[in-house]
Structure 1
Amino acid sequence: MTAVLSPSRLASLLDDDDLPMAELCAARLDGELFGIGEGFAPVDQAETALLRALSVARLAGGRLIAERATAAWILGASATVPERHQFCAPLSARSRPAYPARVAVREVVIGPADCTELGGVRVTTELRTILDLVRFSEPFDERAAAMVSALADIGGLDRAHIRQVALARRNLPNKRLALRRLAFALGT
C-alpha cells in the first residue's frame, strides 16, 4: 500500500532519504510525483533551474561544480538529464574521494566568475559551460551544438563576444577546435 502524499506537505524535492525508493516510484506511477535528475518532485512543482540543481546536490556533495552537459541541463539548455553527470573540482581542492559510476569528475582551473550558485549547488556559468562544451564534448554533434546555442540565448550572450573571449584566453586547451565548433554551433 502506498502512502498518500499531500502536495502541501511535500518538500520541493524528495529522494530515498525522505521515503523508500519503492514509495517514491509508486507515487510517480500514481501521478503524485515526477522524476527529476536524482530525485522526485510533486507534480504541481514547476521544473526550474533551481529544482534541477537541487536534484544533483547529493552527488555534488558541496565540493563539486556541475559542468558541461550537467550544467547545460541544469541551466535549461538541454531537456534530457545526462546519463553520466559531469562535475569538476578546482585543482586546489586536492581531495579525491570515490564517486559513483554515474558521476564523472575532472580537476580544472576555475575562478569564482566561472560559477554561479543555485540552492547551494555550484554550476558553471553559461559562458564557461559553452567554452567547456566546445573544447571537450565528444562527439560534438547537433545535440551539443544545440546546447551551446541555447546557453548563449539563456545567458543573453552575444555570439561575437563568446568568440572574442575564446580568442583572448591565453593557453586555452583545444582553442582551435573550440573556435571551429563555435562557428558550427553559433555561426561565428
Structure 2
Amino acid sequence: MTPRLPPVLSALDLPLAELQCAVLDGELYALDQSFCAIDEFETIHLRAQSLGLVLDPRIIAERLSAAWVWGALTYPPQRHQLCVAIGARTRPHASLHATLREVVVSADEIDTVAGVSVTSRLRTVIDLLRFSETFGDRESSAIKILMADGRLDHASCSDVLSARRNLPQKRIALERLAQICAIPSDAVAG
C-alpha cells in the first residue's frame, strides 16, 4: 500500500519548486502558504492545519486570521493576526507573515481546530469590532457570518462588551455592532 501524503503540504514535505509545479499541473492548489490536493475540500480544518504547520502551540489565531479559519473570509489576511496569552513568550515562525500581540484571554474564548488554537467565534467578533483599524465591507461581512455560524445576536455580543468595565474601544465596538445589526444609534449604550 502506497503511503498517502498529508492533506496539507508545505516545503517541509516536498521541495517548494515541486509543489509549485504540481499547482501548475492542476494536482495541487495553494492554501495560504501551504498546498492541498485538488480533491481536498477547503474546510476550517484544512485552513487551521495550514496555519498549524508553522505555529507554536501557544500561539492563537485571532481577528482576521481566526475569521479566515472559521470560513468567514475567502482569503487569508496578507499578514496573519495572532496572539498569545500574557506571559507565553513565543514568536511565530519567520516564514509566516504575521503580527503577534499579548492579550488577556480565557480558556473559554479559545477553540481548538485541527490542533490549532483559534479564538472562538464570539471572541473573534468582539476583537474585530474593537480592533479593526479599517472597518469596511470585509470586516462587516466576516462579523455577520461569524455571528450567524455561532448563533450570536446583537444582545449576546453587546452583553459581553458591556459586562467588562474600562474595556478599551468598547464604545466604537458597540457602535459598529449596532450598525451591522441595523440597531438605531440612539439605542446603543456604552
Q: Same fold (TM over 0.5)?
A: yes
Q: What does residue range 88-127 of structure 1 map to in structure 2 within 5 Å? A: 88-93=83-88, 95-97=89-91, 100=94, 102-127=97-122
Q: What does residue range 10-29 of structure 1 map to in structure 2 within 5 Å? A: 10-29=5-24
State which of 51, 63, 67 in structure 1 corresponds to 2:62: 67
Partner of 1:3: none
Where 1:40 maps in the other structure, the secondary structure is strand
Where 1:10 maps in the other structure, the secondary structure is coil
Q: Which runs of 5+ in 2 are unaligned?
A: 184-190
State which of 180, 183, 188 in structure 2 corresponds to 1:185: 180
**Residue 60 (structure 1) shift:** 2.0
The answer to whether 1:39 aligns with 2:34 is yes
Q: Which has more helix, going by share of residues? A: 1
| Paired residue type of 1:38 | Q
Q: Name the CA shift for 1:118/1:98 in 2 (closer, same or farther; >3 Å).
A: closer
- Equivalent-residue separation in structure 1 for 2:7 and 2:49 (angstroms): 9
CA contact (8 A) 1:60 1:66 kept: no
State which of 142, 162, 170 in structure 2 corresponds to 1:147: 142
**Residue 36 (structure 1) shift:** 0.7
**Residue 165 (structure 1) shift:** 1.6
State which of 50, 65, 83 in structure 2 corresponds to 1:55: 50
| Paired residue type of 2:44 | A
**Residue 159 (structure 1) shift:** 2.4
Between 138-147 and 99-108, the greater mean CA deviation after superposition: 99-108
CA contact (8 A) 1:166 1:179 kept: yes
- Equivalent-residue separation in structure 2 for 1:77 and 1:183 (angstroms): 19
Between 78-87 and 155-164, the greater mean CA deviation after superposition: 155-164
Determine what percentage of the aligned residue pairs are the same residue: 43
TM-score (norm: length of structure 2): 0.90
Q: Name the CA shift for 1:122/1:20 in 2 (closer, same or farther; >3 Å).
A: same
Partner of 1:160: 155
- Equivalent-residue separation in structure 2 for 1:108 and 1:99 (angstroms): 19
1:113-149 residue CA offsets vs partner (Å, 9 max, x unmatched): 0000011100000000000001000101121111111
Where 2:129 maps in the other structure, the secondary structure is helix
**How many aligned positions are there?**
181
Where 1:59 maps in the other structure, the secondary structure is coil
Where 1:151 maps in the other structure, the secondary structure is helix
CA contact (8 A) 2:62 2:83 kept: yes
Between 12-21 and 100-109, the greater mean CA deviation after superposition: 100-109
Q: Which runs of 5+ in 1 are unaligned?
A: 1-5
CA contact (8 A) 1:73 1:81 kept: yes
